[in-house]
Structure 1
Amino acid sequence: MGVRARFIGLAGLTALLGGCAGTSGPAALPMAAPGPDKGYLPEARLFRLADAVPPPPTPGSALDLDDRARSDAYRVLAGGDRWLLATAHAEVRPELARQHFDCALGVRFQGQVTPRLSALLAKVLHDADHAAERIKARAHRPRPVADDPERVPCQRVTPAGRQTGSYPSGSATVGAAYGEVMAAVDPGHAAQAREIGRQIGVSRAVCGMHYDTDVRVGIDLGRAVGAAIVASPAFRDDLRAAQAELAAVRATGLTNPGCIAEAATLALPLPAPTPPAGA
């Protein structure tokens, strides 16, 4: 990428990230605490979804080694456009996470009042995180930033945070679930909403907070949780209210000036691991 093109890309991403994160990235935040009546799905349904997920890769297995090689390859992204976008995607609290979907839906959420949409996303966050945490409690897989204590993630993380479980990625689970419900809120942009939900998960690998398998499994789980939420009777009234708020936001005619930069950034291929010598 040329110097001028890169400057334009960074400036566009700054506009895109304006309401989400500073250059140092958001802190690693605790998810919603599990509890009754906080989400859409009963605990038993969430546990069935979680219990269908396989265990993490065995240390030293081919899949584990491939995860590590890919994570090492992502180090070259540090400080670049995809890295900056990942700092924003690290923020999954509903009031800010809704802005990740600006470009997918063709709107600008920053500065707009959407209490029903935010409440809907808060319930989704609870359910998705609750399912992911049940899996993490079964077996502990260290994060890339724990396996390499010197590795710098694209968000602020405490020493204790480095030691928390990596499998599956809770943020990838939440992002994919958000993508499913935003696809229901705006069916005309369903594919775009789901893709951003997926990219929120990919960003966790870019950040060095999760391995690729952690992200992939989190995305699959999030999609399953999101689909179950969309099919639940309790979601329907909230859906209508969220759609009315989206229509009001769209009626302002505002769009996010960083969308061209986001599209260019997401079009960049992720670096592949270097083949072993002699391969």
Structure 2
Amino acid sequence: MPRATAGLIAVAALLSACAGTPAALRPQAVQAAAPEAKGYLSGALIQALADATPPPPVVGSSTDLADKARSSQFRTLEDSDRWLLATAHAELRPPLALQHFDCALGVRLGSATAPNLNKLMQRLFDDSDAAAERVKARGFRARPVGDDAERRSCQRVTEAGRKSASYPSGSSTVATVYGEAFAALDPQRATEARRIAHEMGLSRLVCGMHYPSDVAAGEVLGKAVFEAASATPGFDADLAAARAELTAIRATGLTSPGCAAERRALATPLP
């Protein structure tokens, strides 16, 4: 097995194992999950953001047909390094999902306790997830794995999951919000943070869970959610507290051992 593939498998396995391990047996950083907190945005503002999102492409339209043609091309990546990275990217909840940004930021978030960072990201997760779900409730579009019952996904998908709505990509919405937040926390690495957020959206194409226009709409919505959240009272204080934690984590000098594997996977040409 190539070294990069083995390393990426280890990263994916770590995320999967932590997600399924009883809390009492998890590392301290994983146990330090974000406290339950509502998002920054009011229900009315979330609804306004959802209402501003265009409806999904009409079935049989040129956009819909182009989406389906390109989605089919992503089958060529099944079981590749990029497929394995997409498997890891399927984890979107803090604190585990924040480790997807380790290599972009040059840190090792899984090695430290960061309650303020986790709280910030949990609140942003709540806002972005709520906004995406309201758009999905307004107009249904089937997922690639729903349109094709034989389509493989890089994650475990229930029958209900196959039948759930694809537009917009909630995963892409959440990833984009994370990317914007990390860009604000570490402006010197803003480009790298936003690139990983985009790659997390592309991972949903690799997985067969979304079509390209689903991901594109999710990115637009995610940026709008972050812009709105960053203008709310208390956000700047939360950002400052999270930035202090990120600075302390960087000072430890620890970095992720999976970065070489990630670079290899991200170098895989997409169809």
TM-score when normalising by structure 1: 0.87
Runs (5+) with no aligned partner, structure 2: 21-36
The question of 1:17 aligning with 2:42 is answered no
Aligned to 1:139: 139
Alpha-carbon shift at residue 38 of structure 1 (Å): 0.5
TM-superposition CA deviations, 1:109-152 (whole Å, max 9, x none): 11311111111111011000111111101111000111111111
Alpha-carbon shift at residue 48 of structure 1 (Å): 1.6
Percent identity, aligned pairs only?
A: 56
Aligned to 1:171: 171
Moved more, 10-19 or 52-61: 10-19
Aligned to 1:219: 219
The question of 1:129 aligning with 2:137 is answered no
Q: Which amino acid aligns with 1:127?
A: D
Q: Which amino acid aligns with 1:234?
A: G
Alpha-carbon shift at residue 268 of structure 1 (Å): 2.3
Alpha-carbon shift at residue 245 of structure 1 (Å): 1.0
The question of 1:96 aligning with 2:96 is answered yes
Q: Which amino acid aligns with 2:266?
A: L
Provide the rounded CA distance (Å) in 2 between the counterparts of 1:39 and 1:266. 32
Aligned to 1:75: 75
Alpha-carbon shift at residue 98 of structure 1 (Å): 0.8
Aligned to 1:187: 187
Matches within 5 A, 1:1-279: 7-21=2-16, 38-271=38-271
Provide the rounded CA distance (Å) in 2 between the counterparts of 1:128 and 1:105. 22
Alpha-carbon shift at residue 11 of structure 1 (Å): 2.4
Q: Is the 8 A contact 1:173 1:222 kept in 2?
A: yes
Moved more, 109-118 or 230-239: 230-239
Q: Is the 8 A contact 2:143 2:162 kept in 1?
A: yes
Matched pairs, number: 255
Alpha-carbon shift at residue 21 of structure 1 (Å): 2.8
RMSD: 1.8
Q: Secondary structure at the match of 1:179?
A: helix
Aligned to 1:3: none
Alpha-carbon shift at residue 18 of structure 1 (Å): 5.0
Moved more, 43-52 or 137-146: 43-52
Q: Which amino acid aligns with 1:79?
A: D
Q: Is the 8 A contact 1:19 1:110 kept in 2?
A: no
Q: Which amino acid aligns with 1:158?
A: T
TM-superposition CA deviations, 1:86-129 (whole Å, max 9, x none): 01111001110110010110001113111111111110110001
TM-superposition CA deviations, 1:157-180 (whole Å, max 9, x none): 110111010000111100001111
Alpha-carbon shift at residue 224 of structure 1 (Å): 1.4
Alpha-carbon shift at residue 236 of structure 1 (Å): 1.1
Runs (5+) with no aligned partner, structure 1: 1-5, 27-36, 272-279
Divergent runs of 4+, >4 A: none
Q: Is the 8 A contact 1:67 1:211 kept in 2?
A: yes
TM-score when normalising by structure 2: 0.89
Q: Is the 8 A contact 2:81 2:264 kept in 1?
A: no
Q: Which amino acid aligns with 1:196?
A: I
Q: Which amino acid aligns with 2:14?
A: G
Provide the rounded CA distance (Å) in 1 between the counterparts of 2:221 and 2:266. 22
Provide the rounded CA distance (Å) in 2 between the counterparts of 1:194 and 1:214. 18
Provide the rounded CA distance (Å) in 2 between the counterparts of 1:154 and 1:82. 10
Moved more, 231-240 or 243-252: 231-240
Provide the rounded CA distance (Å) in 2 between the counterparts of 1:228 and 1:185. 17
Q: Which amino acid aligns with 1:92?
A: L
Provide the rounded CA distance (Å) in 1 between the counterparts of 2:231 and 2:14. 31
